[in-house]
Amino acid sequence: MSETNLRYRDLFLVLSSELKTLLHYFGDDPKYQMILEVFSEYKEDEYNSMPKQKDLLAQLDLTRTKLMELLRELYHDFKHSIFQAHTYPIKKTEYFVNVETLDNENWQIGLDHLEHIPTVGDKFRVQFIKGEYSFGYFEVKEVHHSIENQVHTVSIFVSDKFDDEDISFIA
């Protein structure tokens, strides 16, 4: 098994953020059952504090060395479970467009679906966003992808703040 340099806090946060996937692969494995139960109690979005290592040691009746071995083994097994193509299950894809206008208005639009994910430099129009100085034409400045807990999130950052040579397509 290859060792990771991640410490307790990092391992806990990384693994607990993938609870659905871990349950998919290791939910029936008695070796990981207790630690998966602990992960299921921790909800980062609800501002629950992460269990202190000493509390977790007492709860699981493990030594510090055994706990770290268990977390590292789970991390290693998780890494190798999703190594092949089509093995990490994506249950949902979410799309967001973050719009910055010339008059410093900011919009975040959650999209139902998107046929094509634009790339940096692409230009498009959002008819209903017009500010004092805005025409509704935007340029893609950044595209961010994140994958967590079987959800792929695509965030597209656009702006109507063009360089002078870039506005020829509006005319």
Domain ranges in the chain are: 8-81, 92-164
> For tokens 């209903």, what's the residue?
128
One-letter identity of residue 5: N
Distance CA(107)–CA(114), nearest Å, equals 18
DSSP letter at 49 equals P
Q: Which H/E stretch holds residue 140? A: strand 137-148
Q: What is the reported pLDDT for 171?
A: 45
Of 106, 120, 103, nearest to 156 by C-alpha is 120
Q: What is the reported pLDDT for 1?
A: 47
- Give tens-digit pLDDT for 110-158: 999 999 999 999 988 888 887 666 677 889 999 999 999 999 999 999 9
Residue 155 has which token pair? 């965030």
Indicate the pTM of the whole model.
0.74
Q: What is the reported pLDDT for 126?
A: 83
At 15 the three-state DSSP class reads: helix
Residues of the chain with pLDDT under 50: 1-2, 170-171
Beta bridge partners of 134: none
- For 33, half-sphere exposure in the C-beta direction (CA atoms, 13 angstrom radius) is 4
Q: What is the reported pLDDT for 3?
A: 65
DSSP letter at 124 equals E
